[in-house]
A = this chain, B = another copy of it.
Amino acid sequence: MNAIPFESGRKLDCVSLGRLCIDLNANEIHRPMEETRTFTKYLGGSPANITVAMSRLGLKTGFIGRVSDDQFGRYIIQYLKDQSISTDNVVIDRTGSVTGLAFTEILSPTDCSILMYRDNAADLKLEPNDVCEQTIANSKALLISGTALAKSPSREAVFLALDYAKKHNVVVIFDIDYRPYTWASQDEIGIYCRLVAEKSHVIIGGREEFDLMETVTDPDQINDDHTARTWFSHVAQIVVVKHGGDGSITFTRDGGQWKGRTFPNEVVKTFGAGDAFAGAFIYGLMQGWPIERCQEYGAAGASIVVGSHSCSDAMPTVEQIETHMKKYE
């Protein structure tokens, strides 16, 4: 058993707050994007991908966000609905914003890059007033994506959502999801991610992402044990530190520590692996599974997604994960 006390009797298992974007994936892969002729459109954005992953696995999910008032915004809402994700708290932005874009370049299975369009992005226009207290009160868990902190007013919307979560005893899951754009300064990153991490029960991030938060006041303490101690001194129950290809380590407040495995697969691109992991890991937590099993499920999900052309669209079902796990038993 894991230690997370999710409230029972709530309409939604998890509501996510943050980025809703479009991925435009190069169809002619394994070459520079200069030579790409055509692109295929998918829903994108880390919290969007995680939410699709959770929904595919059977969780009842919803989203708190803003989309642009155009064809891309309408596509996103329709896609979420098609995935059985509640869009009741997805607001249409009327300020002339656009949907964030990620053009992906797949030079080789291990050499991928992204050309981002994040100026005037609709998702960062989310305002505190957009956040519906009742939506949060109706959820067992609230997933916060760190990129939602990159700019006002989305940043303030996060803090208000956290206030509502506390008031209604909602478990807060923080995916640090650091991206080196949009933020006005390096200082802001650590400072705001810390303020959220202090209020989070589950924190998921890469080693470098934890460093961004912790080196502000403790520049000499860069290690996983210190990370775990730091956040357990606040309200955290579970801390997951991802080490890329080396797998992840999960710490629990009661002193537990688990190193996760990885599954082999024919890699098309590395994008989306972290989101698939997070979606399946959270799914496991909500089933009350032991950490080992949550991690294994996450790793299997990641393995499936790196073998596909898309992120969101490739998120596996329970059946697909089970099949994949059996293959590598």
Q: Which residues of A does B touch, CB under 8 Å?
A: 24, 27, 32-34, 36-41, 70-72, 74-75, 78, 98, 101, 103, 105, 115, 117, 119-120, 127-129, 133, 152-153, 156, 159-160, 163-164, 167, 184-185, 187-188, 191-192, 194-195, 216-217
Contact = CB atoms under 8 A, between A and B. Distances in A.
B159 A75 contact: no
A37 B217 CA distance: 43
Question: Which of A27, A41, A153, A185 is the most central at the interface, judged by chain B CB atoms within 10 Å of its CB?
Answer: A41
A41 B39 contact: yes
B184 A33 contact: no
A71 B32 contact: yes
Contacts of A195: 159, 195
B159 A71 contact: no
5 closest Cβ pairs, A-B complex: A119-B119, A33-B71, A119-B120, A128-B187, A34-B75
Contacts of A153: 184-185, 187-188
Contacts of A34: 71, 74-75, 78
Nearest to A163: B217
19 contacts: A32-B71, A33-B72, A34-B71, A34-B75, A37-B40, A37-B41, A70-B115, A71-B115, A153-B188, A156-B185, A156-B188, A156-B192, A160-B187, A160-B216, A163-B191, A163-B194, A163-B217, A164-B217, A195-B195
A268 to B, nearest CB: 17
A27 B192 CA distance: 42
Contact of A41 (B36, B129, B160): B36
Contact of A156 (B70, B115, B191): B191
A152 B117 contact: no
Given A117-B117, A159-B195, A163-B217, 8 more contacts: A27-B38, A33-B71, A34-B74, A71-B103, A153-B184, A153-B187, A156-B185, A160-B191
Given A216-B163, A217-B167, A127 B37 contact: no
Nearest to A98: B117
Contacts of A119: 98, 119-120
A152 B164 CA distance: 25
A39 B117 CA distance: 16
